[in-house]
């Protein structure tokens, strides 16, 4: 383990991306192979767990070999194997976990158990060193959370969604607009051509806590479109997208800024698939610039916002330093939360 440099092989398979990366010293990507199976799920309008597991089985060994080859690293040079053990789909998680355990056992390497959401936060480590305390706005297909971190590996959820996650809301209204799954990116693009003419509700925006709710917005959107259809009216797709996005971004930005005032931090990290959203990126940058806060904004590049192995390697680096290892009895934990790790 005292080998230099530190090289972590990191495996991610929690949902519909099989990914393996080799990360050097926690912040340098030597390889980051991502095999997306999204095309197989699109016709179902969402991820089918059984189909996802089968794809992971087909892809995992290929990704592993390719990640080592691209990084030009041999198993003997590795310091550890890291793997996502939750949250996610149990069948999907188990494929990555089994591969990681087998590899760690065969090559006598320590095994590092990584929380997928911690991985999303640590994707920001590829942009700049993290400075504490920091706040992370985690926005993905399954999560919407404000996480306060006093130090590496210490997570305190100060607010979270009470119903749908932001990405989930994007995907559900996308279906009503006839878009393919996942529709966040397309709605984001359409939104830039339209205007917020429908003024959808901004749930809990003025309430003192930091929780979110997106199911009311989703229902308001669906009802408007369906009622319109019944009257024979069709609304402009770009205006619907712009109005939906304005509501989501308004709530996320307003609450995040309020959280930054109550919890002074050095950095704000925006992470998860929805961190790719241009409206959110631009809106947050502007709101911070117009505020009297000096918080540094860190948003991973687009390719590191979605699920990938490199982010798991970055989070694992911190655990390796602390000696936070798992043995081969490590199991998948589909509903793993930060609280459980505390």
CB of 202 to Zn ion, least distance (A): 25
Task: Name the residue nearer to ligand KG4 (CB basis): 17 or 110.
Answer: 17
Task: Name the residue nearer to ligand KG4 (CB basis): 67 or 305.
Answer: 305
CB of 46 to ligand KG4, least distance (A): 10
Q: Are 153 and 322 in contact (CB under 8 A)?
A: yes
With CB under 5 to 8 Å by kind, the binding choice for 313 among Zn ion, ligand KG4, none is none
Task: Name the residue nearer to ligand KG4 (CB basis): 92 or 319.
Answer: 92
User: Interior CA angle at 341 toward 339 and 342, to 5°?
Assistant: 70
> How does strand 80-86 pair with strand 28-36?
unpaired
Q: Are 105 and 255 in contact (CB under 8 A)?
A: no
CB of 307 to Zn ion, least distance (A): 4
To the nearest 10 degrees (0 to 180), the angle between helices 237-262 and 184-191 is 100
Of these, 12, 145, 211, 307, which contacts ligand KG4 (CB under 6 A)?
307
List residues forming the annotated binding site for substrate. 138-142, 171, 184, 188, 277
Torsion sign across C-alpha atoms 144, 148, 151, 155: negative
Residues 64-123 that bind ligand KG4 (CB under 6 A): none
Residues 27-65 as b/e (b if ≥16 CB within 10 A, e otherwise) read bebbbbbbbebeeebeeeeebbbeebbbbbbebbeebbe
Torsion sign across C-alpha atoms 107, 113, 117, 123: negative
Torsion of CA 173, 177, 183, 188, to 10 degrees: -90
Of these, 122, 148, 170, 214, which contacts ligand KG4 (CB under 6 A)?
170
- Contact between 145 and ligand KG4 by CB under 6 A: the answer reads no
- Contact between 31 and ligand KG4 by CB under 6 A: the answer reads no
Of these, 26, 91, 113, 141, which contacts ligand KG4 (CB under 6 A)?
141
Task: Name the residue nearer to ligand KG4 (CB basis): 110 or 167.
Answer: 167
- Contact between 274 and ligand KG4 by CB under 6 A: the answer reads yes
Question: By rule CB under 6 A, what count of residues binds ligand KG4?
Answer: 19
Q: Are 7 and 79 in contact (CB under 8 A)?
A: yes
Task: Name the residue nearer to Zn ion (CB basis): 194 or 300.
Answer: 300
Counting Cα atoms < 13 Å in the Cβ hemisphere of 42 gives 11
With CB under 5 to 8 Å by kind, the binding choice for 308 among Zn ion, ligand KG4, none is none
CB of 126 to Zn ion, least distance (A): 16
Q: Taking contact as CB under 6 A, which single stretch among the options 25-33, 57-65, 167-175, 292-300 is the one that binds ligand KG4?
A: 167-175
- Contact between 307 and Zn ion by CB under 5 A: the answer reads yes
Q: Taking contact as CB under 6 A, which single stretch among the options 89-97, 101-109, 139-147, 260-268 is the one that binds ligand KG4?
A: 139-147
User: Interior CA angle at 324 toward 320 and 328, to 5°?
Assistant: 105
Of these, 140, 256, 295, 308, which contacts Zn ion (CB under 5 A)?
140
Of these, 194, 273, 309, 313, which contacts ligand KG4 (CB under 6 A)?
273
Count CB-CB contacts under 10 A for residue 68.
Answer: 22
Q: How far apart are CA 301 and CA 95, in angstroms?
A: 27
Burial class (CB in 10 A: 0-12, 13-18, 19+), 201: middle
- Contact between 53 and Zn ion by CB under 5 A: the answer reads no
List the one residue out of 200, 205, 190 whose CA is nearest residue 225.
200
Contact residues for Zn ion, defined by CB under 5 A = 140, 307
Which chain residues interact with ligand KG4 by CB under 6 A?
A: 15, 140-142, 167, 170-171, 182-185, 188, 272-274, 276-277, 306-307
């Amino acid at each position: 383990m005292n080998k230099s440099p530190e090289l972590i092989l990191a495996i991610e398979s929690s949902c519909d991306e099989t990914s393996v990366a080799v990360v050097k010293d926690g912040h340098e990507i030597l390889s980051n192979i991502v095999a997306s199976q999204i095309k197989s799920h699109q016709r179902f309008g969402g991820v089918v767990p059984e189909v996802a597991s089968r794809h992971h089985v087909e892809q995992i060994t290929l990704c592993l070999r390719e990640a080592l080859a691209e990084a030009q690293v041999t198993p003997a040079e590795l310091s550890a194997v890291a793997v996502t053990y939750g949250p996610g789909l149990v069948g999907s998680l188990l494929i990555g976990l089994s591969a990681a355990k087998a590899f760690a056992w065969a090559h006598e390497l320590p095994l590092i158990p990584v929380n997928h959401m911690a991985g999303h936060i640590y994707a920001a480590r590829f942009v700049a060193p993290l400075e504490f305390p920091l706040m992370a706005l985690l926005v993905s297909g399954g999560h919407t959370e404000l996480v306060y971190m006093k130090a590496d590996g210490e997570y305190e959820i100060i607010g979270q969604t009470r119903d749908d996650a932001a990405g989930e809301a994007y995907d559900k209204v996308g279906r009503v607009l006839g878009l393919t799954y996942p529709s966040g990116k397309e709605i984001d693009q359409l939104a830039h051509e339209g205007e917020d003419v429908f003024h959808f509700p901004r749930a809990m925006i003025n309430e003192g806590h930091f929780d979110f709710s997106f199911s009311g917005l989703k229902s308001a959107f669906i009802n408007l479109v369906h009622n319109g259809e019944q009257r024979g009216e069709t609304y402009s797709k770009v205006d619907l997208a712009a109005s939906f996005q304005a509501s989501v971004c308004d709530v996320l930005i307003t609450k995040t800024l309020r959280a930054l005032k109550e919890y002074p931090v050095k950095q704000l990290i925006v992470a998860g698939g929805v961190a790719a959203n241009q409206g959110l990126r631009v809106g947050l940058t502007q709101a911070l610039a117009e505020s009297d806060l000096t918080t540094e904004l860190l948003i991973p590049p687009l390719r590191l916002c979605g699920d990938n192995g490199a982010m798991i390697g970055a989070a694992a680096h911190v655990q390796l330093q602390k000696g936070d290892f798992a043995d081969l009895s490590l199991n998948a934990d589909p509903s793993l939360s930060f609280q459980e790790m505390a």
